[in-house]
């Protein structure tokens, strides 16, 4: 599979939030890259899932790819913004529709405040400009603002847009109070899903705080943590694998793909280390995955 070493990718984004591709386009890309199982996990919205599933059901792709209904929920843990992925959630459950509606309002208000700050910095009509590429129920994250700033040439990269304007301490930063990690786990379970702590290595918190987070998440009923995302040092991956073993967490793997041409790619460099038990090997959850025999997991 080239560098796309795992055909099960349990985290990616469409333009229902801050991904660049439509749900249909991401399924087409995934099939091209040999992905057999793809979770559509947009920030705080489930609106891309049905379109992705419908694309996967068309004749040319039938039987080739399983779309896993998913969401990436924004939460706050002791002042830090933490992402919790729900896999195999029922988007139509009351718990999920209530959550999505509440997060949408929070996101809308936050996006307006970010836009106001950016307008003062010279980005005229930025909210309206970004809205042109979106339907009204799409979720606008800092990722959407970063891409716009980059495309306007006001930053040399997506990351630089964060470093110059959007991250904590920078002029367009807006502090956000999301729901608790435990609330997110509860909602995911009420919606029939599995709770996964997303990219635990990316929070810029101390190791002690990370251990505290993992314990809190596990006590709340969280089942798994992402061990592999594609842009990651081998030492970080090994560290996370050891934490998963120590705390009895299942392992998940997801590219967190957002856009073409960036360093993250569907199924790229996300094979789980042997010491970790993947979600799909757990007796409770293996049955959630259709056609698992078709998957290539590249584990080493």
Q: Using CB under 5 A, pick the residue from 48, 86, 143, 201 that binds Mn ion.
A: 143
Token representation of residue 89: 């959630």
Based on its alpha-carbon atoms, the radius of gyration of the chain, rounded to whole angstroms, reads: 18
Q: Does 141 bind ligand AMP (CB under 6 A)?
A: yes
Min. distance of Cβ 166 from Mn ion in angstroms? 12
Min. distance of Cβ 110 from ligand AMP in angstroms? 7
The DSSP result for 8-23, as a single string, is: EE--B--TTTT-SS-H
**Are residues 165 and 196 in contact, defined by beta-carbon separation less than 8 angstroms?**
no
Q: Does 167 bind ligand AMP (CB under 6 A)?
A: yes
Q: Which is nearer to Mn ion, 198 or 224 (CB)?
A: 198
| 46-68: b (≥16 Cβ within 10 Å) or e | bbbbebbbebbeeeeeeeebbbb
Min. distance of Cβ 127 from ligand AMP in angstroms? 14
Which residue's Cβ lies closest to ligand AMP? 141
Listed ranges 1-9, 93-101, 119-127, 135-143: which one lies at the site for ligand AMP (CB under 6 A): 135-143
Residue for token digits 């040319």? 60
Which does residue 159 bind out of ligand AMP, Mn ion, none, counting CB within 5 to 8 angstroms by kind?
ligand AMP
Token representation of residue 24: 């249909």
Token representation of residue 54: 């419908």
Q: Is 83 exposed, middle or buried (0-12, 13-18, 19+ CB in 10 A)?
A: buried
Q: Does 18 bind Mn ion (CB under 5 A)?
A: yes
**Are residues 115 and 127 in contact, defined by beta-carbon separation less than 8 angstroms?**
yes
> What is the footprint of Mn ion within residues 185-204 (CB under 5 A)?
198
Token representation of residue 239: 């560290």
Distance CA 19, CA 22 (A): 8
**Quick one: how far is CA 88 from the chain centroid?**
14
Give the residue among 52, 9, 11, 17 at the shortest CA–CA distance from 147: 17
Q: Using CB under 5 A, pick the residue from 66, 182, 223, 256 that binds Mn ion.
A: 256
Q: Which is nearer to ligand AMP, 114 or 214 (CB)?
A: 114
Which does residue 162 bind out of Mn ion, ligand AMP, none, counting CB within 5 to 8 angstroms by kind?
ligand AMP
Min. distance of Cβ 109 from ligand AMP in angstroms? 12
Per-position x/- string for 71-100, each x denoting binding to ligand AMP as judged by CB under 6 A, each - no binding: ---x--------------------------
Which does residue 74 bind out of ligand AMP, Mn ion, none, counting CB within 5 to 8 angstroms by kind?
ligand AMP
| Residues in the chain, overall count | 300
Q: Does 142 bind ligand AMP (CB under 6 A)?
A: yes
Q: Which is nearer to Mn ion, 18 or 66 (CB)?
A: 18
Report how far apart the first and last C-alpha atoms of the chain are (Å, whole number). 14
Q: Does 264 bind ligand AMP (CB under 6 A)?
A: no
**Site for Mn ion, rule CB under 5 A:** 18, 72, 83, 143, 198, 256
**Site for ligand AMP, rule CB under 6 A:** 18, 43, 74, 141-143, 159, 162, 167
């Amino acid at each position: 599979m080239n560098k796309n070493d795992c055909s099960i990718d349990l985290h990616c984004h469409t333009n229902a939030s801050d991904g660049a591709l439509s749900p249909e386009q991401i399924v087409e890309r995934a099939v091209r890259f040999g992905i057999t199982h793809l979770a559509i996990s947009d920030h705080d919205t489930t609106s891309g899932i049905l379109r992705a599933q419908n694309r996967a059901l068309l004749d040319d792709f039938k039987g080739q790819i399983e779309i896993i209904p998913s969401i990436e929920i924004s939460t706050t843990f002791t002042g830090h913004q933490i992402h919790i992925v729900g896999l195999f959630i029922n988007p139509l459950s009351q718990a999920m529709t209530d959550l999505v509606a509440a997060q949408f309002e929070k996101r809308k208000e936050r996006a307006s405040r970010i836009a106001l700050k950016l307008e003062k910095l010279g980005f005229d009509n930025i909210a309206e400009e970004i809205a042109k590429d979106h339907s009204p129920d799409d979720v606008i994250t800092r990722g959407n603002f970063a891409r716009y700033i980059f495309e306007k040439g006001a930053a040399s990269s997506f990351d630089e847009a964060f470093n110059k304007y959007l991250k904590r301490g920078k002029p367009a930063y807006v502090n956000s109070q999301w729901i608790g990690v435990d609330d997110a786990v509860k909602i995911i379970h009420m919606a029939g899903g599995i709770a996964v702590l997303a990219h635990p290595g990316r929070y810029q918190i101390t190791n002690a705080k990370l251990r505290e987070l993992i314990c809190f998440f596990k006590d709340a009923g969280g089942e798994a943590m992402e061990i592999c995302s594609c842009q990651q040092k081998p030492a970080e991956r090994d560290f996370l694998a050891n934490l998963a073993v120590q705390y009895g967490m299942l392992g998940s793997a997801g590219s967190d793909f957002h856009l073409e041409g960036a360093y993250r790619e569907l199924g790229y460099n996300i094979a789980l280390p042997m010491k970790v038990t993947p979600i799909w090997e757990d007796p409770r959850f293996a049955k959630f995955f259709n056609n698992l025999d078709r998957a290539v997991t590249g584990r080493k």
